[in-house]
Chain A
């Protein structure tokens, strides 16, 4: 089966010396939910930007469904159905909630009516706190609500692959679960998901695969149930523990 997204030997450095990613090779199979964990400075956001088409890596190859990815403009990624939910959400805070979500379909030429229909379908599961406030500036929503809107912006164009950079950042546990429930429904609708998190107890309950990133390298990869939370803590948060080999299966 062709991987939805395939990275091989991806290396990136910023300016003089700081290597953000070194030799990352990763295949994301269609229909999976991959959780990528790592502490601050592990290279997570760089990886998210590479996967989402925002940053052309210094070296290495990225393929979308087998075809080489084009970094000339993000539009290429969006048109291929690969969308990014960036770190800190990056909503347009002065635009309304509705405008924000509809902009997610900017690259898709779709009749307005059809778009409105997908919007209604998407919002069916949303809390009324959001559906009642579609015409207020997105900046006036709470953090959890904003994150839901950011995910909705990514889902409106029915993408094949969604990459989310720290969607639970700064959210209360209940809000995190709401975000992941929404993602889960997208996945059952056929979307492939890659979620990048700093800490991921909630995410782990939803994920099918897990990878751990540190110092720009992949420290571990496997099925989500191949590793315990305590071990993840050891690798990613409390430092590198002896006994768990990188890339161990």
Chain B
């Protein structure tokens, strides 16, 4: 509970600080008049650039997408402002238009994110920046080409916007943006994006759609960059192509990395770094760049997480703070036996369904990984699929999960749905959940957030949180609700994985090697848990090596070897089968 309270307070704390810094700055440049024109100009630059850095940094931090091309979106905002200012459009309308256009372009690029590795996507966005540069240079009628184009000054309440009031607008906008982005990053959007970034497969298994989520993240980030572009146009009053040079584009990546990827405070500090260091060494052009470069390298080497997280890490012990998710004193809670799930009562499942799989054949480059595999699981049944390493178990799991397409003629029905016609991320919604051999938890999400996210596959609003709490309680995980997975022993991690699957409200749970890596006591707990599933009407497919555990639990066993089902029957039949002994033990039947 304490950890959770700390987390909430931490969240509020961040928002409050952001608002306070914003308000203080507004006071300083406004009513108090503490700053001169030049300082106002620098403050405005920091505010505007900070929005750009934030858009780059949060996209990387939450979605793992690095964009070098965000200057193109800034340009959209700036040129839209210049173009429409001379045509008398209201500023808010222009901002909306620009943000919408940038969001659309960003969404389109984001749709492709899943296809590429990080570096390739970075190059793709670099191409965007280059193309943007050439378009700016040639589209004279709108951009004024190399000459640039002036921004017609705006009037607000009949007053001409001057630099001082622009500074106010910029700082206020930046403050609002920072608060909103922080809320979103820690809210539902951020959680979904982190989940996808951390464990793509597991995220799909609870019904998230990485393609759409990546596109949304990119679109939102692009819209922010465009908003910054509008402010930039107001500030400089005359827009020329130099502003959007590649060097400037790269500077924002430097700011994001140096400040601390995904860190709100880091975005401000990183921006201050790229604005203030050059300003401070004005006049000595080359020396200024050298200082900038050396400091950047020094920060990368000595504060690997970036300025903001690095300083927090160093300062935390001095202030007696413990960072969320790190192990409590005395190491992690031992062996995961601290709170056994005891007599487990699960609510009965609403719609028990049957899974039937027939004629599944999969080949990889001529090699048959699966051949004519069939398998069926009745409602509330526990079925085991066993077989030696390399028998094709993983491939079968991937077929069920929707990641591998079987050859023609295969059939897979689950309740009323034809599985083979359903995308991978839709399967969670039809009631199929999955657990993973290595737990595959979302490393940046606390346990409760993970389970809430999974519960959204079935529940809306606060019902999801409620369902998540019930699940955690049922699995005796409430004490770990605020912990990050890395701080938990492996046994508990696997239990959280089960909680994540359970929270989606499944009628079938597919478990990949649930016993592997567990000690004896944990294995017994898992036994109880699986029996409770059966009682509640949840079917279970166990895919495992631990033959004894599996045989004592299962109603029915399928044995896979060399991609074929070589035996099927009750545990007793399987125990006596020579074919099975041979599969597991080579030629035991021949030599014994």
In the complex, A touching B (Cβ < 8 A): yes
7 contacts between A and B (CB under 8 A): A39-B545, A39-B546, A169-B390, A200-B585, A237-B585, A238-B548, A239-B547
Q: Which of A16, A173, A233 has most B Cβ within 10 Å?
A: A16
Is A17 in contact with B334, judged by CB distance below 8 angstroms? yes
Inter-subunit contact A170/B389 (CB<8 Å): yes
Closest Cβ–Cβ distance, residue A227 to chain B (whole Å): 13
Chain B: minimal CB distance from A178 (Å)? 14
Do the beta carbons of B332 and A40 come within 8 Å of each other?
no
Given known pairs A39-B546, A169-B389, A238-B547, the reply for A16 and B327 (CB within 8 Å) is yes
Q: Chain A residues near B389: list those with CB within 8 A.
A: 166, 169-170, 198
Asked if residues B587 and A202 are in contact (CB atoms below 8 Å), the reply is yes
Query: Which of the 9-residue segments B30-38, B210-218, B487-495 touches chain A?
Result: B487-495
Chain A residues whose C-beta falls within 8 Å of the C-beta of B489 in the assembled complex: 16-18
Q: Which of B451-496 contact A (CB under 8 A)?
A: 486-491
CB pair A230–B592 under 8 Å, yes or no, is: yes
- Restricting to B542-592, which residues have a CB under 8 Å from any CB of A? 545-549, 551, 562, 581, 584-588, 591-592
> Are A201 and B585 within 8 A (Cβ)?
yes
Contact, CB under 8 Å: B516 / A199: no
| Residue B140 lies at the interface, judged by CB distance under 8 Å to chain A | no
Q: Is B519 an interface residue (CB 8 A)?
A: yes
Q: A72 within 8 Å of B by Cβ?
A: no
| Contact B586–A201 (Cβ < 8 Å) | yes
Nearest CB of chain A from residue B569's CB, rounded to whole Å: 16
Please tell me which one of the listed residues B331, B336, B551, B591 contacts residue A201 in the complex, with CB atoms under 8 A apart.
B591
Q: Which residues of A contact B350 (CB under 8 A)?
A: none
Residue B164 is within 8 A (CB to CB) of chain A in the complex: no
Closest to B592 in A: A229
Shortest Cβ distance from B42 into chain A, in angstroms?
46
Q: Which of A40, A169, A233 contacts B545 (CB 8 A)?
A: A40
Interface size of B in residues (CB-CB distance below 8 Å): 36
The answer to whether A18 and B490 touch across the interface, beta carbons within 8 angstroms, is yes
Q: Mark B512-553, 1 if CB is under 8 A from A, else 0.
A: 010011111000000000000000000000000111110100
Q: Does A41 touch B at the CB level, under 8 Å? A: yes
Contacts of A201 in B (CB 8 A): 585-588, 591
Contacting pair B586 A199 (CB below 8 A): yes
Flag if A237 contacts B516 (CB, 8 Å): no
The CA-CA distance from A205 to B590 in the complex, in Å, is 13
Whether the pair A16, B549 counts as a contact (CB closer than 8 A) is no
Name the B residues within 8 Å of A40 (CB-CB): 513, 516, 545-546
Tell me, in angstroms, the Cα distance from A199 to B389 when the chains sit together: 10
Q: A215 on the interface (CB 8 Å rule)?
A: yes
How far apart are B6's CB and chain A's nearest CB, in angstroms?
20
A176 is an interface residue with CB less than 8 A from chain B: yes
Q: How far is the CB of A228 from chain B (nearest CB, A)?
A: 8
Q: Does B388 contact A (CB under 8 A)?
A: yes
CA A168 to CA B487, docked complex, whole Å: 36
For A179-210 the 0/1 string (1 means CB < 8 A from B) is: 00000000000000000001111100100000
In whole Å, how far is B22's beta carbon from the nearest beta carbon of chain A?
39
Bound form: Cα–Cα A17–B581 in Å: 34
Q: Which residue of A lies closest to B391 (CB)?
A: A170
- Find residues 295-342 in chain B having any chain A CB closer than 8 Å to their own CB: 327, 331-332, 334-336
Known: A16-B488, A228-B592, A237-B547. 14 other contacts (CB 8 A): A16-B327, A17-B332, A17-B490, A41-B516, A169-B389, A169-B390, A173-B586, A176-B586, A199-B585, A199-B586, A200-B585, A202-B586, A233-B581, A239-B549
CA distance A246 to B592 in the complex (A): 23
Whether the pair B332, A199 counts as a contact (CB closer than 8 A) is: no
Query: Which of B388, B518, B547, B585 neighbours the largest number of chain A CB atoms within 10 Å of its CB?
Result: B585
Q: Is the CB of B586 within 8 A of A215?
A: no
- Chain B nearest CB, measured from A35 CB (Å): 13
Q: Are A17 and B331 in contact (CB under 8 A)?
A: yes
Q: Which of A41, A169, A172, A233 contacts B585 (CB 8 A)?
A: A233
What residues of chain A lie closer than 8 Å to B547, measured between beta carbons? 237-239
In Å, the complex CA distance between A44 and B128 comes to 50
Q: Which residue numbers of A lie inside 8 Å of B, CB to CB?
A: 15-18, 39-41, 166, 168-170, 172-173, 176, 198-202, 205, 215, 228-230, 233, 237-239
Q: Write out the residue numbers on chain B whose beta carbons fall within 8 Å of the beta carbon of A215.
A: 519-520
Residues of A within 8 A of B335 (CB): 17
Report the nearest A residue to B591, measured CB to CB.
A201
Within 8 Å CB of B519, what residues of A?
A: 215
- Select from chain A the residue with minimum beta-carbon distance to B491: A17
Let me know if B331 and A16 touch, CB within 8 A: yes
Q: Report how far A228 CA is from B488 CA in the complex, Å.
A: 40
A181 to chain B, nearest CB (A): 15
Q: For residue B327, which residues in chain A have a CB less than 8 angstroms away from its CB? A: 16
Q: Which of A41, A173, A176, A198 has the most C-beta atoms of chain B within 10 angstroms of its own C-beta?
A: A41
Q: Which residues of chain B are near A169, meaning CB under 8 Å? A: 389-390
3 smallest beta-carbon distances between A and B, as pairs = A170-B390, A201-B586, A239-B548
Q: Report how far A71 CA is from B547 CA in the complex, Å.
A: 37
Which A residues lie within 8 Å of B581 (CB)?
Answer: 233
- Chain B nearest CB from A39 CB (Å) reads 6
A241 nearest CB neighbor, chain B only: B548
- A24 CA / B334 CA spacing, docked (Å): 21
Question: Are A237 and B487 in touch, CB under 8 angstroms?
Answer: no
Q: Which residues of A contact B516 (CB under 8 A)?
A: 40-41
Residues of A within 8 A of B549 (CB): 239
Chain B min CB distance to A17 (Å): 4
Docked Cα-Cα span, A173 to B590, in Å, equals 12
CA distance A18 to B331 in the complex (A): 12
Q: Looking across the interface, which residue of chain B has its beta carbon closest to that of A202? A: B586
- Which residue from B388, B517, B548 sits with its C-beta under 8 Å from A41? B517
Write out the residue numbers on chain A whose beta carbons fall within 8 Å of the beta carbon of B520.
Answer: 215
Chain B nearest CB: distance from A58 CB in Å? Answer: 13
The docked-state distance in angstroms from the alpha carbon of A199 to that of B586 is: 8
Contact B390 A237 (CB under 8 A): no
Which residues of B lie under 8 Å from residue A205 when comparing CB positions? 591
Residues of A near B490 (CB, < 8 A) are 17-18
Task: Name B332's closest neighbour in chain A (CB-CB).
Answer: A16
| Complex Cα gap A157–B390 (Å) | 30
Shortest Cβ distance from B390 into A: residue? A170
Which A residue's beta carbon lies closest to that of B518?
A: A41
| Shortest Cβ gap from A135 to chain B (Å) | 21
Complex Cα gap A166–B335 (Å): 28
When distances are taken between beta carbons in the complex, the residues of chain B under 8 Å from A16 are 327, 331-332, 486-489
Q: B388 contacts A199, CB within 8 Å?
A: yes
The answer to whether B585 touches A229, judged by C-beta atoms less than 8 angstroms apart, is yes
Closest chain B residue to A203 by CB distance? Answer: B586
How distant is B543 from chain A, measured CB to nearest CB, in Å?
12
Please measure, in the bound complex, the distance between the C-alpha atom of A199 and the C-alpha atom of B583, giving whole angstroms: 10
Within the complex, the shortest CB–CB distance from A239 to chain B, in Å, comes to: 4
Q: How far is the CB of B392 from chain A (nearest CB, A)?
A: 10
**B486 cross-chain contacts in A, Cβ below 8 A:** 15-16
Complex Cα distance, B587 from A31, in Å, reads 27
Q: How far is the CA of A233 from the CA of B517 in the complex (A)?
A: 19
Taking CB atoms, residues of chain A closer than 8 Å to B491 are 17
User: What CA separation (Å) do A228 and B486 show in the bound complex?
Assistant: 42
A18 CB contacts on chain B under 8 angstroms: 489-490, 517
Question: Which residue in B388, B487, B562, B588 is a CB contact (below 8 Å) of A198?
Answer: B388
In the complex, which residues of chain B have a beta carbon less than 8 angstroms from the beta carbon of A198? 388-389, 545
